[in-house]
């Protein structure tokens, strides 16, 4: 899965500040087998006064094919699907399943059971899901914690760290796009610790950033056999004396990959400092050998969002970071950054890049002005009520019409 869960883990590190309502997602159960279901044909929705809602998650396989996951007051989260870039939307059969596009044709939807598609969402096949107690949690505006993590349309992994059930960690792997899952020995995964899903650069090499309880600095688990066994690898020491990771029950470091590039992003505080946005410093380190060795920490520019998301890779391997009305870019694994001007729709303030998808960038944003929030000049809060798309690498952005429930 694209690192939408990366943003969610960063949001949890700031959850005390953001006061985000975390919504637990559920899915309609469909038993395993070869039962095929056609998704309802998209229908145009008439213009109406939009309700108050918050964008939880968006996943696109290209500029046209994708899905969103949104929540509104006093309602369960709802999933919508589009095959024409948001001009029309359909609500899927398993309305509360989280849909993740792996490319324009392949997507997965997992809740208590699972669905897969190989034709861009026109038809879906019911599949079995691993027996995991904790499926996923949706964090409005910033993504999803849990669920499967896919390297490509074929290879996926699903980790249960055991903290919900009180059991040992368990890891499953799929080599057929989520149709079947095989439990791995997962030797070396620590018990009793919140562990994020793994990030893989190829079918054999992957990493998991983790930190023992009360540890001030993260360590890294590395696999070279597709997740069957894991071992600890040391990371570079803290970039400044006396700094420590943001204290949180969630993961305190996040990893993302593009090709053979791995990037690790962390938030730090000075010694004894309180958790406030102005005291946070953002850092990154890169690896080109599957996580065995890492570059010294480089500072990541701060943005005006309350809960800063880590950078994302674009299709060319450049790192991008959205900062309100500007786009920060790095072509050297985060060592240096330059600001690129952007043109957004009137009244839109960019909150966070959501993902890249085969020539398109997607971002969440706030609407300002009458009925919008926040006011111009105010810090961006967690969450968003707009979805934006860029087809030219982030210079020009357009509003993606969203469904009205």
pLDDT tens per residue, range 243-255? 777 755 444 688 9
Residue 347 confidence class, pLDDT cut points 50, 70, 90: confident
Please give the mean pLDDT across all residues of the chain. 78
User: How much of the chain exceeds pLDDT 90, in percent?
Assistant: 39
- Is the per-residue pLDDT at 322 higher than 80? yes
Rounded alpha-carbon distances, angstroms, from residue 285 to 26, 274, 282, 333:
36, 24, 11, 8
Reading the block at residue 121, the tokens are: 């969402």
User: Is pLDDT larger for residue 278 or for residue 361?
Assistant: 361
| Confidence category of residue 36, pLDDT binned at 50, 70, 90 | very low
More confident residue, 231 or 53: 231
User: What is residue 15's predicted lDDT score, i.e. its pLDDT?
Assistant: 33
In the predicted model, what is the mean pLDDT of residues 322-341? Answer: 91
Would you say residue 24 has pLDDT above 50? no
DSSP string for residues in 254-274: EEEEETTEEEEEEEEE-TT--
Over its C-alpha atoms, the chain yields an Rg (Å, rounded) of 20
Q: Which residues of 350-385 are buried (b: 16+ CB within 10 A; e: fewer)?
A: bbbbbbbbeebbbbbbbbbeeeeeeeeeeebbbbbb
* Element spanning 208, H or E: strand 206-210
Question: Can you give the pLDDT at residue 21?
Answer: 30
Please give the helix or strand (H or E) that residue 9 lies within, else none. Answer: helix 4-13
Largest CA distance in the chain: 58
pLDDT tens column, 139-165: 665 567 778 999 999 999 999 988 877
For residue 176, pLDDT beyond 50: yes
273-294 mean pLDDT? 82
d(CA 376, CA 361): 24
Show the domains of the chain with their CATH numbers. Answer: 4-399 (2.130.10)
**233 is written with which tokens?**
């690898």
Residue 47, pLDDT score: 40
């Amino acid at each position: 899965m694209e690192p939408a869960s990366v943003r969610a883990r960063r949001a949890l590190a700031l959850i005390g500040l953001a006061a985000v309502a975390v919504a637990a997602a559920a899915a309609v159960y469909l038993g395993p087998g070869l039962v095929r279901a056609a998704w309802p044909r998209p229908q145009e929705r008439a213009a109406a006064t939009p309700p108050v809602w918050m964008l939880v998650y968006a996943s696109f396989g290209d500029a046209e094919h994708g899905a969103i996951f949104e929540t509104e007051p006093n309602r369960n989260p709802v999933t919508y699907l589009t095959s024409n870039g948001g001009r029309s939307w359909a609500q899927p059969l398993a309305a509360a399943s989280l849909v993740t596009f792996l490319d324009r044709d392949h997507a997965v939807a997992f809740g208590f059971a699972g669905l897969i598609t190989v034709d861009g969402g026109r038809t879906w096949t019911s599949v079995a899901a691993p027996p995991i107690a904790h499926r996923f949690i949706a964090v409005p505006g910033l993504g999803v914690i849990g669920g499967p993590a896919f390297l490509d349309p074929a290879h996926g992994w699903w980790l249960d760290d055991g903290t919900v059930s009180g059991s040992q960690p368990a890891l499953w792997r799929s080599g057929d796009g989520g149709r079947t899952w095989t439990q791995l020995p997962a030797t070396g995964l620590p018990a009793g610790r919140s562990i994020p899903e793994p990030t893989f650069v190829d079918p054999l090499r992957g990493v998991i950033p983790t930190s023992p309880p009360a540890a001030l600095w993260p360590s890294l688990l590395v696999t070279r056999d597709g997740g069957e066994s894991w071992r600890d690898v040391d990371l570079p020491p803290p970039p400044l004396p006396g700094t420590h990771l943001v204290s949180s029950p969630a993961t305190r470091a996040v990893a993302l990959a593009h090709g053979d590039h791995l990037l690790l992003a962390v938030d730090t505080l000075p010694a004894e400092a309180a958790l406030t946005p102005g005291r946070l410093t953002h850092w990154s380190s890169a690896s080109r050998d599957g996580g065995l060795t890492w570059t010294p920490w480089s500072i990541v520019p701060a943005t005006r969002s309350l809960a800063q998301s880590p950078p994302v890779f674009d299709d060319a391997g450049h790192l991008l970071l959205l900062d309100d009305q500007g786009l920060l870019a790095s072509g050297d694994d985060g060592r240096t950054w330059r600001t690129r001007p952007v043109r957004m729709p009137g009244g839109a303030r960019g909150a966070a890049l959501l993902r890249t998808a085969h020539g398109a960038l997607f971002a969440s944003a706030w609407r300002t002005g009458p009925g919008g929030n926040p006011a111009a000049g105010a810090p961006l809060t967690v969450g968003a009520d707009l979805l934006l798309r860029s087809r030219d690498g982030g210079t020009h952005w357009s509003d993606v019409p969203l469904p009205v429930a």
